[in-house]
A and B are shown apart, each in its own frame.
Chain A
Amino acid sequence: MRKLKDNLLLTLLWFAAFLTVAVLVTIVGYIFYKGMGLISFNFIFGDYSPSGDGGIWPMVVTTIYTIAISLIIATPVGILAAVYLQEYAKQGKLVRLIRFATESLTGIPSIIYGLFGAVFFVTTLKLGMSIISASLTLTIIVLPVIIRTTEESLKTVPRTYREGSLALGTTKLQTLYKVILPSAMPGILSGLILSMGRIIGESAAIFLTAGTVAAMPSSIFSSARTLTVHSFLVTQEAGDIELAAAIGIVLIVIILILNFSATFISKKLNKADY
């Protein structure tokens, strides 16, 4: 009887795993199957044309802009905030408040960030539907991610490094940038790379703050679409699954590269020093 139950459960486990893998393989496989025909040099680097045979270069550029701007702001703020929480703060009410805020930010769905960006950056700050509005919204979205990953990697720096440095009459600041941050760098870098993935995957918040103009942005104050928003719009408006899948391939490949480089960096740098 027990044997029967065990076998049943075991079958169930195999079945569930098989199902998961099958579904996920199907999705990725389908996207590659459907979109591969469109992938060409011209598709990626060509200018967009509404007739359909153009490329996605404006969306690639927009995506790069949003990543660059949001990370330029979120990286220093996030790292320094993590440094404060791990290295400077005395445990107490203030730290609890900050942690509560970062955790809450993690839980807010992207559409609400979109609403906030629309009323705050677009309307109140008069930045309009633009790359900059979307990037500032994305900054807040990735801030908790950067804070958390930086904190995790600061935790892995041995306490003895801090003591050793401070005992030599250095200030906390000197210890921080000469000893602690270099040691924590692999973890921080992979955190940053993962935030890039998060930005690339984001759609709803960008949709509400950057608008949907399908053209090469003339500046960061232009309205534009990122790759992800583009793949959504071509599906919704034109039902062009093939095009959406082709953009999907580009997105998946970028995510793949980012993930590999994150793993590579943390392994490589770890080996170099320890």
Chain B
Amino acid sequence: MNTTFVERKQITEEITADNTQLSKQTKISVKDLNLFYGDKQALYDVSINIKEKEVTALIGPSGCGKSTFLRTLNRMNDLIDSVKINGEIIIDGDDIYRSNDVIKLRTKVGMVFQKPNLFPMSIYDNVAYGPRMQGIKNKSKLNKIVEESLRGAAIWDEVKDRLKSSALGLSGGQQQRVCIARAIAMKPDIILMDEPTSALDPISTLKVEELITTMKNDYTIVIVTHNMQQAARVSDRTAFFLSGEIIEFDETSKIFSMPNDQRTEDYVTGRFG
């Protein structure tokens, strides 16, 4: 009854979106997020709703704040002393900066980094690392988790005979997929990927991309990428970051074919960045 025109318009938009995306719910809701490194502001009033079981890509020139933003979602920025944050990030109804249970948050929100960062242990120990740290000791249970996770990351067949050998002996692409397996082993809802293929060769990149598209049936994925073709290939929605702000957020097809903002168009057509 009191709904304004704008709100009604949003509702209709959501309904249409729902129709096309088979009623996806919002998983992560970010509102007016500001982030400072000391006195320097890196994110300005970022608001975005990330849908469940979709791949959301964050693109933009380097230094635009997309990685910084990604790292707010599992509070990895906490590791830097000078970082100050205000605004809210709500995941499954919890304001993650207010609830203060970082351990729980990070078991729910997994992360894959730019360069494969496996520990100097065996493949098995790497994948079992997270569950073990959660207190799972049962051998057969761990075996099961490791196998499922490696299968989930489409690398089981390549490593099943050498689970006990050092993970650092694998190729870069294999290491990155084991990193994904390590994240999956925690049974997260959300997986954050920070330019996961930037250190990989084209063939490994392709494999990881294929993996991402199959993974979205089970996980909500947020991926930062430099590579616009990659964003176009793997993501359902894309957010374009520039100088710490989200300029535009929409379905990927729309961002790449008919963006609303001139700056987005300039970027996706390669005029800068």
Residues of A within 8 A of B (CB): 90-91, 158, 160-171, 174, 178-179, 182-183, 273-274
Contacts and interface: CB of A to CB of B under 8 A. Distances in A.
B103 A169 contact: yes
A136 B103 CA distance: 40
A169 B119 contact: no
A160 B166 CA distance: 17
B90 interface: no
B186 interface: yes
Contact of B118 (A90, A164, A178, A183): A164
A168 B133 contact: yes
Given A169-B107, A273-B168, A164 B113 contact: yes
B120 A183 contact: yes
A161 B117 contact: yes
Contact of B117 (A91, A164, A171, A273): A164
Interface in B116-141: 117-120, 129-130, 133-134
B74 interface: yes
Contacts of A170: 103, 106, 129-130, 133
Contact of A168 (B104, B107, B166): B107
A225 B168 CA distance: 50
Contacts of B118: 164
Contacts of A161: 117, 119
B129 A165 contact: yes
Contacts of A183: 120
Interface in B77-125: 79, 81, 102-108, 110-111, 113, 115, 117-120
A171 B182 CA distance: 17
B242 to A, nearest CB: 26
Interface in B206-242: none
12 contacts: A90-B81, A91-B81, A160-B113, A162-B79, A163-B117, A167-B183, A168-B183, A169-B102, A169-B104, A169-B133, A183-B120, A273-B120
B76 interface: yes
A167 B74 CA distance: 7
B106 A169 contact: yes
A128 B214 CA distance: 73
Interface residues of B, number: 29
Given A168-B183, A273-B166, A274-B120, A163 B129 contact: no
Interface of B: 74, 76, 79, 81, 102-108, 110-111, 113, 115, 117-120, 129-130, 133-134, 166, 168, 179, 182-183, 186
A162 B130 CA distance: 13
Given A164-B113, A273-B168, A169 B79 contact: no
Contacts of B186: 168-169
A180 to B, nearest CB: 10
A95 B76 CA distance: 23
A162 B182 CA distance: 15
A12 B26 CA distance: 78
A169 B76 CA distance: 11
A179 to B, nearest CB: 5
A236 B118 CA distance: 59
A166 B113 CA distance: 12
Given A168-B183, A169-B186, A160 B129 contact: no
Contact of A166 (B79, B108, B168, B179): B79
A155 to B, nearest CB: 16
Contacts of B166: 273
Contacts of A179: 119
Contacts of A158: 117
Contacts of A273: 120, 166, 168
